[in-house]
Structure 1
Amino acid sequence: MVETYYEAINWNQIEDQVDKATWEKLTEQFWLDTRIPLSNDRDDWRQLSPVEHDLVGHVFGGLTLLDTLQSQDGMDQLRNDVRTPKELAVFNNIQFMESVHAKSYSSIFSTLNTAEEITEIFDWTNHNQYLQHKAEVINNIYQTGQPLEKKVASVFLETFLFYSGFYTPLYYLGNNKLINVAEIIKLIIRDESVHGTYIGYKFQLGFNELSKPEQDKLRDWMYDLLYSLYDNEEQYTKLLYDEIGWTDEVNKFLRYNANKALMNLGQNPLFPDGVAEEVNPIVMNGISTGTSNHDFFSQVGNGYLLGKVAAMKDTDYDIGRPQSD
């Protein structure tokens, strides 16, 4: 018999059932931006002020940059430290969908903006100091960090750093404006909910294998990183939202999602006011119909009736919260 050189992946032998469940969920909720009628939002767009136009453009430019980072470097690095071949397959799926997310914003730009405006958006994005700083911080961890540190960076990016940008379309959705643009954002958030809980689960597996001193050291690093990212995010939020007057409300939303990122990692929340009740109810109503968890993404939505899929709850991959020291 020939000695095995390369092993075929066998989905009939599952080492971790979470890999299979996540693969099935991600493939069931597959979507593409080209199937959403963005042109129906042009009338709403014309009614927005120039300040709002700039805000929407810059917000989506920033989100494009972060999704580009995640698709080109983040998933590529996480793929190097998988426990099972099925986990690698899941990361392949996630990497592709992050590219779909990044491309979706360009579909929004091409529908709503002129060529000159699109050039300005990408120039602003590629030279904004706060955007570039958080991209540099996260990518440095991807390139030089330990496997568990890379997972922390990924969860912080997807469950926290995106949300300064997500606030804007969710606010408009809550006010019945830019409905189809917001539909794309809801689909992206639904994906990120699965990504964050899955990668957080994989982090928890490795974290629970560490000694207590190693856990304490990693936990201290994690919270220091979050503090640093939050300080930068406050400055970014101020730049984006001061003129329109939403800065304080967006910061509450950020603290809420920072706590959710920590919960995905099996850690205790950081911000005492980072709870759903503190978030602008218009924003929460834009994505929720009576619950404050990410499990409200229960269907694709009016713009994309391909199938109905429940998203991950925060507790789906919670394999043990730390005890208070």
Structure 2
Amino acid sequence: MQNIILNKAKTLEPIHPNKSTGIFGGTSSGILNWNDIAYPHWYKMYKRLVGNYWQADEINMSNDVKEFPRLTPAEQEAYLKIIGLLSTLDGPQTRTALLLSLYATDPSVQSIMAVIAQQEAVHNESYSYVLSSVVSLDEQKRSFEHGRNDPVLLKRNQTIMNQYNDFVEKPTLENILKTLVYTTLLEGMFFYSGFAFFYHLARDNKMVGTSTMISYINRDELEHGRFITELFRATLAENPEYNNETFITWVYDHFKESVELETEWSHYVLKDVDGFDLAEMEGYIKYRANKMLRMMGLSEIYPEFTENPMKWIRAYADNIDGTKTDFFEQKSRQYTKTSDLNGFDDL
């Protein structure tokens, strides 16, 4: 098995067929005909992604502006630290999605990754938007500094940072597969203790505007995770020499390590939040890991967590199993547009 450095896909090569001969390392003209692609059902994925269009500043934050000072100090600190965490994941994810697309020789993958990158950029903007609604500029800056100086967060992000940077320096097929594994973890597990905190607040009718924003981000991430796991499976099927015990063991080991790091982070950031069940959160992290492994075509590693232990969270997040709720039927969490920035005219 040769670990060859891949070249970036050419923009236009008319000598090659329009339908790609391979996702990475194949050939195609660069011309995209959605009616003639190697994986036809990916057009439906593309349509689902573009159908999720939304903008951060159309969500009404006026009640959150009033509510934030009423949160306990522990809730305020968790709010700011978790926004810092999410921004350290979504910012790099915009770039990573674009980098993956540069090496994809299937133009349908290029287009889908472009949509994912755009949505990750919107997510990152939304964190700036919610913070600008509720805290001063100095507090906003402090929140975004957590990704650079909080030791627990730095430890938690170290392995994903190493893999993403490895891919930049050595764009081999193996590093693409490993980056897809970490992207699966990011889209399907790393965000979820943060999401759960905001949903926990919403259960007590606190910071509902923020949790509505998080629900939109969550919905996007579920679709991203769905596509990335399919991309992983298809790439592995096209390159069966990587479907070996060494690589699959690597996947399982890094899932286990990531679960441990996510659990450590959740205990650190949520330990003082009133009413938050950390044992339940740990089970939910393992449940999410199992779910993503199944979607990747692999086996579960936590047999005691095949069912969601945080069933209450379904009221806030779309269901990835295909029984999606109508997002706009959640009347207490409606997508309410504002005419002025952050709804300050409602104060």
Q: Is the contact between residue 71 and residue 95 of structure 1 (CA under 8 Å) also seen in structure 2?
A: yes
Task: Identify the residue that residue 61 of structure 1 maps to in structure 2.
Answer: 84
Q: What TM-score does the superposition give when structure 1 sets the normalisation length? A: 0.83
Instruction: Give the Cα–Cα distance (whole angstroms) in 2 for the partners of residues 10 and 116 of structure 1.
Output: 49
Counterpart of 2:150 in structure 1 is: 128
Equivalent residue of 1:273, what SS?
helix
Distance 1:267 1:101, change over 3 A: same
CA distance in 2, matches of 1:131, 1:263: 27
Following TM superposition, by how much is the alpha carbon of 1:97 offset from its aligned partner in structure 2, in angstroms?
0.5
Does 1:266 find its partner at 2:288?
Answer: no
In structure 2, do the counterparts of structure 1 residues 259 and 50 end up closer, same or farther at CA, with 3 Å as the change threshold? same
Contact 1:32 1:100 in 2 (8 A): yes
Name the SS for the 1:200 alignment partner: helix
Structure 2 Cα separation of the partners of residues 12 and 203 of structure 1: 22
Q: Which residue of 1 aligns with 2:22?
A: none
| Structure 1, unaligned runs of 5 or more | 307-325
Partner residue in 1 for 2:58: 35
Q: Corresponding residue for 2:247? A: 218
Q: Is the 8 A contact 2:31 2:107 kept in 1?
A: no
Report the CA distance shift for 1:294/1:127 in structure 2 as closer, same or farther (over 3 A): farther
Query: Cα distance, 1:201 vs. partner?
Result: 0.5
**Aligned counterpart for 2:287 among listed residues 256, 264, 270:** 256
| TM-score, length basis structure 2 | 0.78
Q: Residue 283 of structure 1 aligns with which residue?
A: 313
- CA gap of 1:80–1:134, structure 2 versus 1, over 3 A, is farther
Alignment of 1:12-51 (within 5 A): 12-51=35-74
Where does residue 109 of structure 1 map in the other structure?
A: 131
Which structure is larger by alpha-carbon Rg, 1 or 2? 2
Would you say the 8 A contact 2:215–2:316 is kept in 1? no
Matches within 5 A, 1:183-198: 183-198=212-227
Identity %: 23
CA contact (8 A) 2:156 2:265 kept: no
Q: How does 1:115-154 map to 2 (within 5 A)?
A: 115-145=137-167, 146=174, 147-154=176-183
Supply the AA of the counterpart residue of 1:142.
Y
Q: For 1:90 and 1:176, locate their aligned partners in 2 and report how far apart those are by CA, in whole Å.
A: 36
What residue is the counterpart of 1:314 in the other structure? none
Which runs of 5 or more structure 2 residues have no equivalent in the other structure? 1-12, 16-28, 168-173, 338-347
1:209 deviation in Å? 4.0
Q: Is the 8 A contact 1:174 1:286 kept in 2?
A: no
- 1:30-77 Cα shifts (integer Å, max 9, x gaps): 1111111012323332321111111111111101111011112x2133
Counterpart of 1:84?
Answer: 106
What is the Cα deviation at residue 277 of structure 1? 4.4
Moved more, 101-110 or 124-133: 124-133
> RMSD of aligned C-alpha atoms?
2.5
SS at match of 1:287: coil
Shift of 1:293: 4.2
Q: Distance in 1 between matches of 2:157 and 2:144?
A: 15
Alpha carbons 1:204, 1:265 under 8 Å: kept: yes
1:5-45 deviations in Å (ceiling 9; x for gaps): 87433334333223211111111111111111012323332
| Counterpart-to-counterpart distance in 2, 1:28 and 1:165 | 25
Asked if the contact 2:84/2:144 (under 8 Å) is kept, the reply is: yes
- Identify the range of structure 1 (217-226 vs 135-144) with the bigger mean alpha-carbon deviation: 135-144
| Counterpart AA for 1:163 | Y
How far apart are the structure 2 equivalents of 1:170 and 1:259? 22
Judge which range, 178-187 or 208-217, deviates more: 208-217
* Greater CA drift, 63-72 or 138-147: 138-147
Give the direction of change, closer, same or farther, for the CA distance of 1:294–1:191 in structure 2 (3 Å limit): farther
Instruction: Output the amino acid matched with 2:209.
Output: N
Count residues in correspondence.
Answer: 300
Return the letter of the residue paired with 1:179. V
Any idea what SS the aligned residue of 2:303 has?
coil
CA distance in 1, matches of 2:312, 2:30: 51
Determine helix, strand or coil for the equivalent of 1:278.
coil
Q: d(CA) in 2 for partners of 1:305 and 1:43?
A: 17
